[in-house]
Amino acid sequence: MRYTFILLLPLLFLSGCSESSRPSDLPPLFPCTVSVTQGGGPLAGAYVELVSPDSPKYRPSAATDESGNAAIMTYGYPGAPVGKYKIIVRKSIEDDIVMGKDEYGEDAVVSSNRYSVVADIHGDASRSPHEVEVTASSKGVQTTIDVGDAIRVRVPGSN
């Protein structure tokens, strides 16, 4: 019995914390998944964000999985508030990695460059052609967008 209580104690602690940390002004959230493709296939590891001029306080977002799907979350909770959103997508990679030794003689990255692999238009809410409307439905909304062919543009200041 004593061991059962010890095992359940962390669960009681975690379950009590989740609702108390939810902001009181966070509106109801509804399921939303954005699937992102690039060059005919899924785009994994991209950052997807929903941007709304009506509710700028909370920015629903998620990263795409290996299948290119982003299950949108708001403030750490699944879903997004009802509304119309522009969808922005960003993804960058680190390349041109040069290895060397740090001050302690350990192997370390001496320099590298960061490259954007999604065109800038998709990462700018004022220019993005992608939109989604989240409705008050328990089924949620699923939308698929394509960000065109892969690019490789060096991010200024990376090194």
The Cβ of residue 80 has, within 10 Å, a number of other Cβ atoms equal to: 28
Query: How many alpha carbons fall within 13 Å on the CB side of residue 32?
Result: 29
Q: Share the mean pLDDT of the chain.
A: 86
96-107 confidence digits (pLDDT tens): 888 999 899 999
Torsion of CA 122, 123, 128, 131, to 10 degrees: 100
Residue 83 tokens read as 């509304």
Tell me how far apart the alpha carbons of residues 76 and 58 are, in angstroms, rounded to a whole number.
10
119 neighbors 145 (Cβ within 8 angstroms): no
Q: Render 51-77 in DSSP notation, one character per residue.
A: E-SS--S---EEE--TTSEEE-EETTE
Tokens 């929903």, residue?
50
pLDDT(20) > 90: no
pLDDT(35) > 60: yes
List % helix, strand, coil for the chain (3-state, nearest 5): 15, 40, 45
pLDDT, mean of residues 67-82? 96
Which pLDDT value is given to residue 4? 43
Q: What is the pTM of this model?
A: 0.78
pLDDT(120) > 50: yes
Tokens 């960003």, residue?
90
For the chain, list the domains and their CATH numbers: 26-91+118-149 (2.60.40.10)
Which pLDDT value is given to residue 19? 53
* Distance of alpha carbon 87 from the chain centroid: 11
Which pLDDT value is given to residue 131? 96
